[in-house]
Every structure is written in structure tokens, then in C-alpha cells.
Structure 1
């Protein structure tokens, strides 16, 4: 699951939504927050949300092997 925060989106609302996706069976979720140059990674295997500061790419991990998402055009 991927959520890209727009200028009008509430971060707390998107974080709640990502939690719901994981609770309902999503195994991996990325909340891309270009405003704060962060990506929050949600995993079904962990209660902890990993926060990356302006990463170049995101990996699909074991959910989407060999998948890489380039974020070069996202960051200001």
C-alpha cells in the first residue's frame, strides 16, 4: 500500500489509515511525506513504524522481491 501525502492531507489521518490497512491484511505500507522529506514504513510483522529521512529508493522487501521505487522526483 502506498499513500502520498498531498499539501491538504492531515498526517495524523493518513497514519491512522495506514494502521487500518495493516490491521486489515496489508503486509507492507509506505506513507510518503514529501513535506517533511520522510517515508514511514508500516509492516504487518512489526508494531514499530520505521521512519526514513529522504531515501533515494524504497524496496519491496520480501513482499515484492526485486521491486525498487525511485523517489528522486518526490523530494524538493
Structure 2
């Protein structure tokens, strides 16, 4: 998995969540993390753990065409 800057991670989390049409609370529940974690990620205060990034990558795969550009942008090596 390529190294992603904190600001890019914030964009990745926000864009993924918005494309799934989920609130931060519902997105957090889907990933099994707290709402505060998602909020901190989107504000660039903290970065998701590798396991959470893997879950986000899997969600993008499940989205098919809708998530293809984000996969290419953030997860292609």
C-alpha cells in the first residue's frame, strides 16, 4: 500500500463516505470505529490505522464503477 499524506487521507475518507451517502456516524459504524475517529480523519488531525484503510479500500472495490477513480488515485502502486 502506498504512503498517503494526511491531507490526502482526509480527502479519501470524506469522498468515500459521501459517495456511500453515509453520515460520519454511519460510516464509523460500518468500519467499526468511533464517530470521533472518522471526524478526526476527515479534519486531518489523525490518520486511519492500516486496518481501517484496508476496509476503506474494500468498500471502494464493492462500490464498483463509483469507487474506481478513488481506488486508482489512492491505492494504485
Normalised by the length of structure 1, the TM-score is 0.29
User: Which has the higher relative contact order, 1 or 2, with Cα contacts under 8 A spaced 6 or more apart?
Assistant: 2
Query: Considering only CA atoms, is the larger Rg found in Structure 1 or Structure 2?
Result: 1
Structure with the bigger percentage of helix: 2
Normalised by the length of structure 2, the TM-score is 0.29
